[in-house]
Amino acid sequence: MKQAEFLNVVMPFKDKLYRLAKRLLISKEEAEDATQEILLKLWAKKTNMSNYNNVEAFAMTMTKNFCLDRLKSKEAGNLKLVHSNYKDENTSLQSQLEAIDSVDWVQKIMEDLPAQQKLVLQLRDVEQYELNEIGELLDMKPTAVRVALSRARKEVREKLKEKHNYGIG
C-alpha cells in the first residue's frame, strides 16, 4: 500500500481516533500523542491492512487499548478523563455560558460512570457509532451495549435533574 492509498483509507476517521483519545486522556496534547502513535502503528501494518474487514473499527480498538494502557501506566498517575469537543457559535453570551456549564456538568458526571458505560456513551452519543459497531469495538453483545448505554444515559439524566432541581420543591 502506497502513502496516497493509506491516506485515503485512514484520514476519513483520523478525527474520530483523536476524539476517542481525548475522551479517555487528560489533554489535547495527550490525545494528539495517542493519535500519532496509532497512525504510526497503522502505517507499520499497512501491508496487512487489506486483511482487515473494517480498518476504522480496528483503529478505534487500537486507540481504546492504547489509551487504557496509558491510563494504567505509572506515568499516568495524574491523568483524568476530560471532554471538550462542544462548541456552539452564533449564540448569546448567556447561552454560551449555560452550554459550557451543562457540558462541564456532563463531563463531571461521566467521570464517575463505570469505564464500560463511559466508552459506550462516548461512542454512541458523541461519535455516532451504531450499536452493532460499538459491540464489535468493545467485544460486547448488542444487548449488553444497549443496557450499558441505557444505564449511562439514566445516570447522567438523574444527576442533571439533581443539579437543576436542587433546593426546589
Any idea what the CATH number is for the domain that residue 6 is in?
Answer: 1.10.1740.10
Whether residue 18 is found in the same domain as residue 71: yes
Whether residue 12 is found in the same domain as residue 51: yes
pLDDT for res 126: 79
- Among 44, 79, 114, give the residue marking a domain's end: 79
Cβ-in-10-Å burial (0-12, 13-18, 19+) of 110 comes to: buried
Residue 113: DSSP 8-state? S
Residue 45: DSSP 8-state? T
pLDDT for res 149: 92
Cβ-in-10-Å burial (0-12, 13-18, 19+) of 35 comes to: buried
pLDDT for res 75: 52
The cell for 12 is 476519513
What amino acid is encoded at 58 in this protein? Answer: F
Whether residue 96 is found in the same domain as residue 59: no
Q: Which of 78, 100, 102 is nearest to 26 (CA)?
A: 78
User: Domain total for the chain?
Assistant: 2
pLDDT for res 85: 46
DSSP code string of 58-81: HHHHHHHHHHHHHHHSGGGTT---
Number of neighbours of residue 2 by Cβ within 10 angstroms: 8
Whether residue 25 is found in the same domain as residue 98: no
Task: pLDDT tens for the chain, 169 residues: list them.
Answer: 788 888 888 899 999 999 999 888 867 888 899 999 999 999 998 888 888 888 999 999 999 999 888 887 745 455 444 444 445 455 577 777 777 777 777 778 888 889 899 889 888 887 888 999 999 989 999 899 999 999 999 998 888 888 776 545 4
- Secondary structure (3-state) at 127: coil
Domain extent for 10 = 1-79
